[in-house]
Amino acid sequence: MICITGDIHGDLKRFKDKNIRKLKKNDILIVCGDFGFLWDGTKAEKQILKKIGKKRFYTLFVEGCHDNYDLISEYPVEEFCGGKVHAVSGKLMHLIRGNVYDFQGKKVFCFGGGQTKDLDIRVNAGKWWSDELAGNEEINKALKVIDENGRQFDYIITHEPPASIKDFLEFETNQISFMHNFFDAVKNDCTFKQWFFGKVHKNKVIPPKYSCLFDSVVKISTSNE
């Protein structure tokens, strides 16, 4: 089983969701950015990461606007389900942007990163990273990976939505970056069943195949079921 949810922001209570509690050994939970449990690097935080990594299922996340990129980059890079991850603790892993994974027979393209709304506040607090927005090199590598996979995926996981989808969300429509435009190119050039993203703190389906997630948990069917 695979479940997908939106921004958790370091809230352990989110793991009490009925769908997440149904996850069995080696099932998968994917978080669409703003995981939030890698933020301060404190001893208490590391204990929480260890606790999450000991769960019976895998917890996987793409990065968002409220994740500490420096801390994430310190973890070792490993191979997992056909792609590269940062191995945080046990079954807790960060999905490195631009990778394609085979999750229980489903081909999933993942590309984290986000555009910060409260930029001045975050910069002054020392909690902003330029890596939040993908660079040209990362995007070019991702385009190569997309071509190598025939531009066909079962699912796409991001934190930010494509630029053209922002119009349906009434959220920061004036903040469009080259990363949003890259997602528009992926949207137009690739075949996929569903695109899941977080960021907006809404649970909303944008037909025909875009799902904005916050605290809802969506189950997707796999070849294991």
Residue 48 maps to a domain = yes
pLDDT per residue over 189-224, tens digit each? 999 999 999 988 899 999 999 999 999 999 987 655
Question: Domain total for the chain?
Answer: 1
The answer as to whether 94 is a domain residue is yes
Question: What would the pLDDT profile of 143-153 be if each residue is shown by its tens digit?
Answer: 999 999 999 99
- 113 found inside a domain: yes
Instruction: Tell me the C-alpha distance between 204 and 211, whole Å.
Output: 6
64, 53, 107, 56: which is closest to 83 by C-alpha?
A: 107
Q: Which domain holds residue 14?
A: 2-220
Render each residue's pLDDT in the chain as its tens digit; 225 residues.
Answer: 999 999 999 999 999 999 999 999 999 999 999 999 999 999 999 999 999 999 999 999 999 988 999 999 999 999 999 999 999 999 999 999 999 999 999 999 999 998 776 655 555 556 767 788 888 899 999 999 999 999 999 999 999 999 889 878 876 555 667 788 899 999 999 999 999 999 888 999 999 999 999 999 999 876 555
Task: Report yes or no on 124 lying in a domain.
Answer: yes
DSSP of the chain, one letter per residue? -EEEE---TT-GGGGG-HHHHT--TT-EEEEES---SSSS--HHHHHHHHHHHTSSSEEEEE--SSS-HHHHHTSPEEEETTEEEEEEETTEEEE-TTEEEEETTEEEEEE-----SSHHHHHHTT---GGGSPPHHHHHHHHHHHHHTTTB-SEEEESSPPHHHHTTTTS-TT---HHHHHHHHHHHH-B-SEEEE-SSS--EEETTTEEE-SS-EEEE--TT-
What was the pLDDT predicted at 167? 78
β-strand pairing of 92-95 with 58-62: parallel
Is 174 inside a domain boundary?
A: yes
Q: Is residue 102 part of a domain?
A: yes
- pLDDT score recorded for residue 65: 86
Side chain identity at 64, as an amino acid letter?
Answer: G
Q: Which of left, alpha, beta for 95 (phi over 0: left; psi -120 to 50: alpha)?
A: beta
Instruction: Tell how far CA 223 is from the center of its chain.
Output: 22
> What is this structure's pTM?
0.93
In this structure, is residue 79 part of a structural domain? yes
Q: To the nearest 10°, the Cα dihedral for 208, 209, 214, 215? A: 90
pLDDT of res. 115? 79
* Dist CA 180 CA 162 (whole Å): 5
CATH number at residue 19: 3.60.21
Residue 225, in any domain of the structure: no
